[in-house]
Amino acid sequence: MSNFPKGSEWRLWDLHIHTPASYNYSGGRFATMTPAEKAIAISQIVANMNESDVAAFAINDYWTFDGYLALRQAHESGETIHKTLFPAIELRIESASKFRLNIHVILSDKLTVQQLIDFKGQLKLRLTDRPLSDEALVEYAKRLDAGKAKDQGAPVDYLTNPAALALLGAKTAEITKASFEAALKTIPTDQRLVMVPYDCYGGMAKIDWKAQPAEDLYFMQMADIVEDRDQKNIDLFACRKTPENAEFLDSFKATIGGRPKPCVSGSDGHSIAAFKTWRTETNTKKTWIKADPTFEGLRQILFEPVARVRVQEKSPGQAYTKPFFSSVVITQELSPFPGNPNYENPRFGMHEGLPLNSDLVCMIGGRGTGKSCLVDYVGQAFGPSQKKPTYVLNQDFAVTFNKDVQSMSNHHAKEGAELPFVYISQNEVKSKVTTGTVGEEIKQMLGIQGLSFDSDLVAKTREMQDSVSKLKLWFDQTDEKGSVIYDRREIEGQIARFTSLLDSITTDQNKEKLERFTANISRISSAEELIRKLGLLKDELDTFKAAFDLKLSAVDPQIPLLDISKQSVAIESATISAASQVKSGQTQNAQIRSDFAQVYTGDLSGLLQNAEVYRASIEKLHNNFRLIAEKQKELEIAIAKRSTLPDLIAAELKRQKDAIDAKWLSVQQGQPDWTTEQRDLMRRILADRQITLAGRVIFDTTVFVAHLKDVLNLRSFRATNELTVDGRVKQAFPIADADAFFEFMRDELHTIEAEDFVSGDLAGLFYDVTKRSKFLRVEPVISYGGRPLDRLSVGQKGTVYLCLKLATQAFTQPLIFDQPEDDLDNEFIIEELVDIFRGIKQFRQVILVSHNANLVVNADADQVIVAENDSGVLRYRSGSLEDATTNQAVRRILEGGDAAFLKRELRYNLK
């Protein structure tokens, strides 16, 4: 196991700090201390380093490694330093510039003391051409004339003052370029880094690049690392285009060697306290590096000059809060598979805690080492429980899930907890592509799988259609003989018949009395009809009140119940009045009957009975006429309402289309709080790959015609020499798209549905959403590079699926992906997916199982977990790409591992 099993993490580094070995140190220098004072100073430095938040220091003393060597000796003697310490040196180098130019070299802590001595021995001072030493600096100072010495603050007697000469030499000496280059050659290239300040003290920014272009190019291109604290300069060296540098960025990139260069900011501390407390000037400009605190870790900023280093006050790891799996714990050895007597199952080995990085984790291993088994076990144990697990879920297998850096929860596999993460199992993408379920999957990702027809409009459509149908059925009512009850001509004939019969019994002698008698019968009949209607109205009002009050009480008992007392009183009053009219008419007719008896000599009872029957029949028929008129008016209103449905349905389809378009737009544009980096990442995932999605109204003519044939008498549509059955159906129903469908619905449907060749529910195809949606609906139409999804290759469909999977959950849930290279084209992986994962890992944890070296190396995995099968026991060890053991495992296990590392270096023209 690596010393840093969680892999590359953001740590605080100080790559420019001094010890009392530097000539301009605050609070005393080693040169003037007694041995006891020096020991105390070293102990205090060690204590401050161990108490500080800094993970790695580079001791950058002027002209010497003495401070570093003293601390190294203290560590070896038992004063343990718990931080990484690099030997470094700050020099002043000859330059054509009018200003002093400082240059630093940071060296590997694996170098021997002799290698440091050899390096320093190659450095030669200008004027004297002597190797760098205290004596050489003194000699250099002696060569300065008195005027220059005075200008540097030397005392008058500096030539006879050894301390003054040493200080003067340290302040003014310069090494030659040639000797600096010779010194670098004594150190292997992977164990040294040249750091040149830019706008810091003694920096390159003061070189007049117009007057001295060669000098500018020499130092700009020599620098491996740039020391700078100004963000606009950091953007420049990172080759990050901004409005401030857009005009000259390309020229600047050529000046620095054609590749981005990492920028750091050291504390430049000159006191023992600085090892624990940053100076005010640099407190907000600290250096954060995402790497193991080793020299190999430091070198990662050459390969990742943007992603692996930041200059800012707080850790970049705190910049974005995201959930992540932080560890897997297996408390005792267990088999994930059900027992089988025919063979011995592999077993998970015990792991007290396999830590997981919050960014990009890559799991590698040979066949049968359990790399897929581990993530699949996690996927089944803690993912959505949609299918029966194929593993034995054991409480000895647990994960720690972090909602953020501090809030975490522990869950064992058997408890059935569902955690928020996305799991793409091995070959899942290919399976969904080949089975044709990618479209539905994409709908689910976008959250539009539940997009359905508006339920209120469905109810309104049903209500309007039912209303028309019921009214039409009313006109078709028949009596027990099968005769239509409400036939106008029949009613007119009946009125004429009964009128004729009434005339036949009317004479000049009985006319006056008979007319009064029948007039009363009409009034009585009208009053009785009114009483009947008032009774129905009262029943309807009582029923409505009971239902409404029940709903009202359920919503809020404090709301007063419905008051229908005024209406009830009015109905009762009208009923009493009508009853009075009935009684009055009956009384009058009784008197008429009595008067009639005194003068009429015939069958008075028969006469009046016939007159009553004829007049009552006439009144009933007139009531039917009035009812027909009322129902006809109701039918006209219902048809007028129904005529609005085509436009309402069309508007609802447009609403669904707009909802899909709005959802897609929100995916592309992101949330208001997204950073520029997040928006750029989304652009690279979607727009740069020409992935588009739009809502579209789909009208399937073939399906429509098939359903039409089910409601037609096809004998009327027999094939001819010119047309097939379908052709004749299409001729009668010229509907090829949604617009034609609605036009037909408005103008022709209710005429043609009365034709004899219609044998079924034709209107239902237009009004019933369950029937209509089979051929008329809204769907998201996806395209890639201008081509629709159904015309893409399997690999291209997989690309679209994965990109949308990444885009729709880009900044939220962890993603676990088992061997993406099995589902995707290698070109897409190399040219596109690597770049996507490099960007997206900042915002969501990505755990990949992979045997593709490009995904692991060039996506810059923050942690590599190596799976091993030790005699049937599955074990896992982890570390970073810069960890030597892990690095070798990547090269050994992954085909093309060496080539992938080489490609990583060549990306920035590194050798």
Q: What share of the chain is helix, strand, coil (3-state, %, to 5)?
A: 50, 15, 35
Residue 2's nearest CA partner among 887, 612, 907 is 887
Query: What phi and psi values does residue 26 have, to the nearest 5 degrees?
Result: -85, 140
The residue extents of the domains of the chain are 10-116+179-318, 125-174, 324-421+813-906, 476-642
* Among candidate residues 762, 773, 697, 758, the one with its CA nearest the CA of residue 465: 762
Question: In terms of Cα–Cα distance, which of 871, 869, 866 is closest to 894?
Answer: 866
d(CA 599, CA 608): 14
What's the longest Cα–Cα distance across the chain?
172
pLDDT at 905: 66
Query: What kind of fold does domain 324-421+813-906 have according to CATH?
Result: Rossmann fold (3.40.50)
What burial class does residue 599 get, using C-beta atoms within 10 Å of its C-beta: 0-12 exposed, 13-18 middle, 19+ buried? exposed
Which residues face 54 on adjacent strands?
12
The two structure tokens encoding residue 673: 């709080």
Q: What is the dihedral of CA 816, 821, 825, 830, to 10 degrees?
A: 90
DSSP string, 59-103: EEEES-SHHHHHHHHHHHTT----SEEEEEEEEEB--SSSS--EE
Q: Give SS3 for 369.
A: coil
- Which sign does the torsion angle of CA 798, 800, 806, 809 carry? negative
Q: Which residues contact 111 (CB under 8 A, 6 or more apart)?
A: 87, 187, 191
Determine which helix (DSSP H) or strand (DSSP E) holds 327, and give its type and residue range: strand 324-330
Dist. CA 446–CA 466, nearest whole Å: 37
Q: Which of 842, 499, 475, 443 is nearest to 681 (CA)?
A: 842
What does the pLDDT read at residue 599? Answer: 63
Angle formed at CA 413 by CA 408 and CA 416, multiple of 5 degrees: 90
Instruction: List C-alpha distances in Å: 673 to 323, 606, 679, 758.
Output: 18, 96, 10, 59
Buried b (16+ CB within 10 A) or exposed e, 273-311: ebbbebeeebeebbbbbbbbbbbbbbbbbbbbbbbbbbb
Q: Number of C-alpha atoms within 13 angstroms, CB side, residue 163?
A: 6
Alpha carbon separation from 693 to 494, 658, 781, 786, 903 (Å, rounded): 68, 12, 6, 11, 35
Tell me the whole-structure pTM to 2 decimals.
0.76
CA angle 105, 108, 113 (to 5 degrees): 95
Q: What does the pLDDT read at residue 600?
A: 66
pLDDT tens-digit readout, 638-692: 888 888 888 998 998 998 888 888 888 888 877 787 888 888 888 888 877 788 8
SS3 sequence of 389-453: CCCCCCCCEEEEEECCCCCEEEEEHHHCCCCCCEEECCCHHHHHHHCCCHHHHHHHHHCCCCCCC
- d(Cα 754, Cα 472) in Å, to the nearest integer? 12
The span from the CA of 294 to the CA of 288, in Å, is: 14
Backbone angles phi, psi at 499, to 5 degrees: -65, -40
What is the spatial distance between Cα 296 and Cα 7, in angstroms, rounded to a whole number?
13
Burial of 903 (0-12, 13-18, 19+ CB in 10 A): middle
Distance between terminal CA atoms of the chain? Answer: 29
Residues 429/833, Cβ–Cβ less than 8 Å: no
Q: What is the pLDDT of residue 911?
A: 42
Interacting residues of 375 by C-beta distance below 8 A, sequence separation 6+:
363, 423, 816, 818, 847, 849
Q: Residue ranges of the chain with pLDDT lower than 50?
A: 1, 908-911
Tokens of 219: 């130092």
Residue type, 762: L
CA-to-CA separations, 562 to 545, 547, 549, 553, in angstroms, rounded:
6, 10, 6, 11
- Radius of gyration for the chain, computed over Cα atoms and rounded to the nearest angstrom: 47
Confidence at residue 312, expressed as pLDDT on a 0 to 100 scale: 93
- Cβ-in-10-Å burial (0-12, 13-18, 19+) of 94 comes to middle
Name the pairing type of β-strands 309-312 and 360-364: unpaired
What is the per-residue pLDDT for 908? 47
* Burial label, 222 (beta-carbon count in 10 A; 0-12, 13-18, 19+): middle
In angstroms, the CA 401 to CA 405 distance is 10
In angstroms, how far is CA 165 from the centroid of its own chain?
Answer: 66
CA distances from 523 to 93, 527, 583, 852 (A): 126, 6, 10, 99
Q: pLDDT of 726-759, one tens digit each?
A: 999 999 999 999 999 999 999 988 888 888 898 9
Backbone φ and ψ of 860, nearest 5°: 60, 65
The pLDDT of residue 1 is: 44
User: CATH classification of 10-116+179-318 is 3.20.20.140, yes or no?
Assistant: yes
Please report which residue ranges of 773-854 form alpha helices under DSSP H. Answer: 794-808, 826-828, 834-840, 853
Query: Rounded to whole angstroms, how far apart are CA atoms 296 and 301?
Result: 10
Q: What is the pLDDT of residue 743?
A: 94
pLDDT of residue 2: 59
Quick one: CA torsion of 764, 766, 769, 770, rounded to 10 degrees? 50
3-state secondary structure of 895: strand
